[in-house]
C-alpha cells in the first residue's frame, strides 16, 4: 500500500478531507520530533 492510499483510507475512517489527514500527520510528526528532542535534553517542555 502506498502513502496516498493510506491517506485516503484515513480520510474515510475519520470522515475528513485528504488535506486534513495531511495536516494531522504533519502535526503528529512535529509533536514526535519535539518529544524526542525533550527526551534528549534539547528542548523545553513549556
Q: Is 44 left (phi over 0), alpha (psi -120 to 50) or beta?
A: beta
Q: What grid cell was written down for 6?
A: 493510506
Contact in structure between 37 and 43 (CB atoms under 8 Å): yes
Distance, in Å, from the CA atom of 25 to the CA atom of 10, rounded to the nearest integer, reads: 10
The series of mean pLDDT values per 10 residues for the chain, 46 residues long, is 90 92 91 80 61
Rounded to two decimals, the pTM is 0.61
Distance, in Å, from the CA atom of 17 to the CA atom of 22, rounded to the nearest integer, reads: 9
Amino acid at each position: 500500500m502506498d502513502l496516498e492510499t493510506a491517506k485516503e483510507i484515513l480520510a474515510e475512517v475519520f470522515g475528513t478531507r485528504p488535506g486534513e489527514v495531511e495536516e494531522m500527520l504533519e502535526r503528529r510528526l512535529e509533536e514526535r520530533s519535539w518529544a524526542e528532542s525533550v527526551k534528549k535534553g534539547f528542548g523545553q517542555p513549556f
